[in-house]
Structure 1
Amino acid sequence: MNLSEIIDFIVKIVGNLGYFGIFLMMFLESSFFPFPSEIAMIPAGYLAYKGEINIYIAIIIGTLGSVAGAFFNYYIALKLGRRFILQYGRYLFFTESSMKKMESFFKKHGEISTFLGRLIPGVRQYISLPAGIAKMNLYKFCLYTAIGAGIWIMILTFFGYYLGVWLGNEINIKEIIQTFNTSSLNSVEINIKSYLHYIILTMLGIVIFIALIYILYRKKRK
């Protein structure tokens, strides 16, 4: 099954199962079965534009799914430990090298890394593992994970929604997701470039917000 077929399959799940499909896909995205969250939440935003689902409920459900998937990883790491993860993680393409990177990131940034990591591709799916191994406080873990996941999911969902507002029914949602994942705008037939400044401004605001939280957190620790 190639990328296009996988995207098509997941988009259909979200479209056919609605909120449950969103929860399921985001649970899997945050657990040991990682795939890009764009595949679920951009279509969810577009469905909200079409009036098929409520955008705010979709964001909440997506966030809950992410927290549940992250808790799954956290619990496995907490109860079964590092050795178990390394022994069986390789079957899901999670190597010892990946584990060391996650542990290094967690050690460098502390517990707030469970928030920061939700906004970084390749980190968000696995940052729960060192948190579990370190026996991080569960309340803090869920809180930081929910805030980080919520911000990222909100960005993706509103991105999908405003694609509908700007471009109407001309969207090939599968093509948009492939572009989002490959970071290539040239392969898309519709003109998204004229709307990039909205997205950039939104992302800039989020980055500033995250930076302020991180600075305040570091000052508090000192």
Structure 2
Amino acid sequence: MDLIRGLISFILHIDEHLVEIINIFGGWSYAVLFLIVFVETGVVIFPFLPGDSLLFASGAFAAVGAFHFTLLLVVFLSAAVLGDTVNYHIGKKIGTSIPPNSWLGKVINQEKMEKAEAFFNKHGGKTIVLARFMPFIRTFVPFVAGASRMNYRYFLIYNVTGAIIWVGICTTLGYLFGNIPIIKENFSSVILFIIIISVLPSIMGFIRAKLDKGAGKKR
């Protein structure tokens, strides 16, 4: 419970924690930011680390000179692309050999793998790009893409495209608007809003799936 509270506090008060990171690590702060985004996108069991909020807050800090904006974009872009690449290869390596009784095995089984493969064959590129803006799903999609043996070259194209769009939009918005007085004074509320907007598509998809399932049972 304390860990969950700590993570929520870290995400909602990411601006305060970035100050701590900069004060402690100085120039090595870029490496810390790289590591956070890399793990959040690259390790399927760490989907709860900050993504959108970190990019936005870092962009705001770049606007006041704490980070070099171009270097920040390069760091985040590299972390996002490499993270998804590693996640893809992890899924390809162990995705089909996960013990069925494990918690991950209950989430990912052969039937879901087959459905995921069919879905990626039809909507793969769009799925990978859109997933960048969805916490949790962002971490899960490249793993499933690898486990379902999605063509790697095809995956890589949309991996890079999605990373450019995600990093570019979130970091630039922070750079342009993060230090506007009303936003700066209500930074936690802005971050919470970003999180809600990010997860809204997945929530709507879940509700739609439940409604469709319920309608199917009534027929």
Q: TM-score, normalised by structure 2?
A: 0.66
Q: Distance in 1 between matches of 2:58 and 2:76?
A: 9
Name the aligned partner's letter for residue 59 of structure 1. Answer: L
1:97-176 correspondence runs (5 A):
102-103=116-117, 105-110=119-124, 113-167=127-181, 170-176=184-190
Unaligned segments of structure 2, at least 5 residues:
198-219
| 1:59 matched residue in structure 2 | 73
Q: Distance in 1 between matches of 2:160 and 2:101?
A: 29
Q: Distance in 1 between matches of 2:13 and 2:184?
A: 20
1:106/1:131 contact within 8 Å kept? yes
Cα pair distance change 1:182/1:85, threshold 3 Å: farther
Offset, 1:79: 1.5
Name the aligned partner's letter for residue 147 of structure 2. Answer: I
Q: Distance in 1 between matches of 2:165 and 2:100?
A: 30
Unaligned segments of structure 1, at least 5 residues:
184-222
Cα pair distance change 1:114/1:49, threshold 3 Å: same
Offset, 1:155: 0.9
Cα pair distance change 1:104/1:140, threshold 3 Å: closer
| 1:6 matched residue in structure 2 | 10
Q: Distance in 2 between matches of 1:163 and 1:143?
A: 30
Name the aligned partner's letter for residue 145 of structure 2. Answer: A
Name the aligned partner's letter for residue 19 of structure 1. Answer: Y
Cα RMSD over matched residues? 3.3
Offset, 1:42: 0.9
2:63/2:175 contact within 8 Å kept? yes
Query: What is the count of residue pairs matched by the alignment?
Result: 181
Q: TM-score, normalised by structure 1?
A: 0.65
Matched, 1:96 2:108: yes
Cα pair distance change 1:79/1:96, threshold 3 Å: closer
Identity of aligned residues (%): 28
Q: Distance in 2 between matches of 1:121 and 1:5?
A: 16
Offset, 1:102: 4.6
Name the aligned partner's letter for residue 106 of structure 1. Answer: F
